Amino acid sequence: MKLTKEQIQEIKSQQLQSNSTKRVTVPELEKILYEAVPALDHGFVRVVDYMGDDTSIVQSARVSYGKGTKQVSTDSGLIKYLMRHWHSTPFEMCEIKYHVKLPIFIARQWIRHRTANVNEYSARYSILDKEFYLPTSENLAAQSKSNRQGRGEVLEGNQAKQVLELLRKDAERTYANYETMLNERYDGSTINENNKGLARELARMNLTLNTYTQWYWKTDLLNLMNFLRLRADHHAQYEIRVYADIMLDTLKRWVPITYDAFMDYRVGGTEVSAKGKIIIQKLIKGENISMEDSGLSKREWNELMEAFDLKDKLI
């Protein structure tokens, strides 16, 4: 991970601040506030601001439900109830803002979650850093034969070396061409005094997608959990999962009660269809049932068996 001198100084200045506030603060999150947590080879995740905590969720819910919450004796019980029954609005009362440095191809995948406020580094205004993401050998895999958007077996030997060399050379070559078109090097020096530099908004278009970009990403707690439920899942692409895992740790520090409920009901739980529920009920009663008689497709049947660890137990 590489931070600019300006970023390092900014982080030091922010961490040295000592402000008095009447707003709620979370000591565990304050410990890492502004800190750049490394991600991949040159990326990072920083929490730069937040609003609310677990008590803010409870406060909002009790305003909504009024006297109806008297049956819930603790904050933990209420938050679990909200999570269990998919009550979403109270979780929207908390917000968090991240500063993230990530490869462009991950940013384009990430931005599909259209539930946040985003401000990205402008390559129309500034020159992008000369940094590229290169996978480690264990994360260099072939196309999966069963999943069109997933990875299969890890590449090995000469093939892996060749692919990594191609990725590196392409990134370096296109960045060199980028500098030539700008007539300006990464360090700010001019290449040829007699040439005019191409507009930055045009010169950027030949850069490879493993070039790093940066953005500020602000969202509420509900949409953060929706993002993490998908991107921290083992089916998610490895590179975005690295970022999601770091953000999971910030979630745990920020709202530990909500985190526990989230991990229990969203990440560790499973959804069952009406047909699936009937199948599970029959299996509990000891009745025999086959995929052909279930009314489920082969994929649905396999997912249900896998979710309840029944795949090798049925004859």
In the prediction, which pLDDT does 68 show? 44
Structure tokens at 130: 């000369």
Give the pLDDT score at 139: 85
Over residues 273-279, mean pLDDT = 93
Q: List the catalytic residue out of 23, 231, 253, 266.
A: 231
Pair 9, 138: CB distance under 8 Å = no
Average confidence (pLDDT) over 62-78: 65
- Percent of the chain past pLDDT 70, that is, above it, reads 91
**CA dist 281 → 1, 132, 272, 277, 289 (Å):** 51, 52, 12, 6, 11
Residue 33 pLDDT level (bands cut at 50, 70, 90): very high
Report if pTM > 0.85. yes
Q: Residue for token digits 């500034």?
A: 126
* Average pLDDT over the chain, rounded to an integer: 89
Range of lowest pLDDT (133-142, 149-158, 190-199, 209-218) = 149-158
Exposure string over 94-108, b if 16+ CB within 10 A, otherwise e: bbbbbbbbbbbbbbe
Mean pLDDT of the region 175-181? 95
> Between 171 and 4, where is the model more confident?
171
In angstroms and rounded to an integer, the radius of gyration of the C-alpha atoms of the chain is 24
Q: Is 231 a catalytic residue?
A: yes
